[in-house]
Amino acid sequence: MMSFLQTYGAQLLVKTWQHLYISAFALLLGVIVAVPIGVLLTRANGTVANVVMSIASMLQTIPAMALLALMIPFFGIGKIPAIVALFIYSLLPILRNTYLGMKDVEPALIDAAKGMGMTSGQSIIKVEVPMAAPVIMSGIRLSATYVIAWAALASYIGAGGLGDFIFNGLNLYRTDLILGGSIPVIILALVVDWLLGKLEAAVTPRTTQA
């Protein structure tokens, strides 16, 4: 391990940063898009919600390599097609959990918000989203794990990242390169999940007893 770090330490830092950058950008786009859509679906009829969920589910069933290859004619090679593909993969867990979390908010709380004179938008922002936040965060944590794992495949289309070590190791039959890419990916996934778990705990509404 020490010899690997001495030889590839600088590359490891660069590729870890590339991996984090691609993953974070894709996840951020997923949150920005999926959370508002999930909220809007709770105000739509059931047919529209089912259609949107079905489309999101269908997109996630596309094999990762096929989706990455499909991005090349539109975006070329590099980071942009990788981010777009990973963004698509991140949508379903966030969208589904946002929708379910909003749907599971106690009707009595929504009625109380209306009774206080809140508009539908105020009720969403001040009552429903905060109450659904733990479920939404669970979806984001799941998507983050998926995205970090699948970002390793992005090296196939020239996006860089820790996948470069993994696939170079497979091509050269070098166990040290395979482990040098795989172990940091696992550590990244665990650390990000732990950090998002802390954020989930922070945004979970707390009740106090008088």
Say what the pLDDT of residue 50 is: 87
- What region, left, alpha or beta, does residue 117 occupy, with left being phi > 0 and alpha being psi -120 to 50 degrees? left
CATH superfamily to which 2-203 belongs: MetI-like (1.10.3720.10)
- Count of helix runs (H) and strand runs (E) in the chain: 9, 0
Say what the pLDDT of residue 158 is: 85
Compute mean pLDDT per 10 residues along the chain, 210 residues long, and list them.
Answer: 77 92 94 93 84 86 84 88 91 92 86 84 86 92 92 87 89 88 92 92 66
Q: What's the pTM value of the predicted model, to 2 decimals?
A: 0.88
What's the DSSP call for residue 7? H
Domain residue limits, the chain: 2-203
Host H or E run for residue 99: helix 79-103
Say what the pLDDT of residue 209 is: 42
What's the DSSP call for residue 157? G
Tokens of 70: 């499909």
Say what the pLDDT of residue 1 is: 65
Say what the pLDDT of residue 125 is: 85
